[in-house]
Amino acid sequence: METNFLAEIHPKVVHFPVALLTTYSILEIIGIIFNKEFITKSAMLVLCLGVVTALIAVLTGNQAATNFIHWTDGSTALLNDHQTSATYLLWASAIVCGFRIFAAIKKKFVGWIKYVFVVFAIVILFIVYKTGSYGGDLVKKYGIGTDFYQNEVE
C-alpha cells in the first residue's frame, strides 16, 4: 500500500523540481547579468528547494517504474533514458547547490565565479528539459501512469 502511494504521487510531485529548477536557472542568470544580490540569493533558495523536490521525484519515480508491469522494449529504453537523465539532474543540482552555498558562505560568489554559475544554470535547465521530455514521452507514447493501465489491473 505504501509503495503504491509513492508510485501514485510521482506524476504530482515531478512538477515541483521542474518548476523550481527552471525558476532557479532563470533567477540565477537574471541576478548575475543585472547584478542583483536579492535575486541571486532567491535563486539559491529556490535551488535548494528544487534539490529536495528532485530527490522526492526520483524516489517516487523509481517506485512507479517498479510497480508498472506492462513494459515493452521501447518503453523500457525510454524509461532508462528518463531515469538516467533524472539521476543526472538530481546529482548536478545537488552539487551545484553545495557549491552555491559554499560560495555564499565564504563570500566567494564574485567575479568570474558568478559566471560559472550561469553555465551551471544553463546545464541544469537543459537536463530539466531532457528529463521532462523523456517523462512526457513515456506518458504520451506508451500511456505509462495513465488510467488505462490502472483500470486494466483492477
Decide: 69 and 137 in contact? Cβ < 8 Å. Answer: no
pLDDT tens digit sequence for 38-51: 999 999 999 999 99
pLDDT tens digit sequence for 5-26: 888 899 999 999 999 999 999 9
Q: What is the DSSP letter of 146?
A: S
Which segments in the chain show pLDDT lower than 70? 1-3, 149-154
pLDDT of residue 153: 45
Please give the grid coordinates belonging to residue 29.
542568470
DSSP H helical segments within the chain, as ranges? 2-13, 15-33, 37-67, 73-105, 112-142, 147-153
Decide: 126 and 94 in contact? Cβ < 8 Å. Answer: no
Residue 113: Cβ-neighbour burial (10 angstroms; 0-12, 13-18, 19+):
exposed
- Is this prediction's pTM over 0.85? yes
Q: 126 in the Ramachandran plot: left (φ > 0), alpha (ψ -120 to 50) or beta? A: alpha
| Nearest CA-CA partner of 10 in 47, 55, 46, 49 | 55
pLDDT of residue 79: 96
Give me the chain's average pLDDT, please: 92
Helix pair angle (37-67, 73-105), 10° resolution: 150
| Nearest CA-CA partner of 28 in 18, 19, 39, 17 | 39
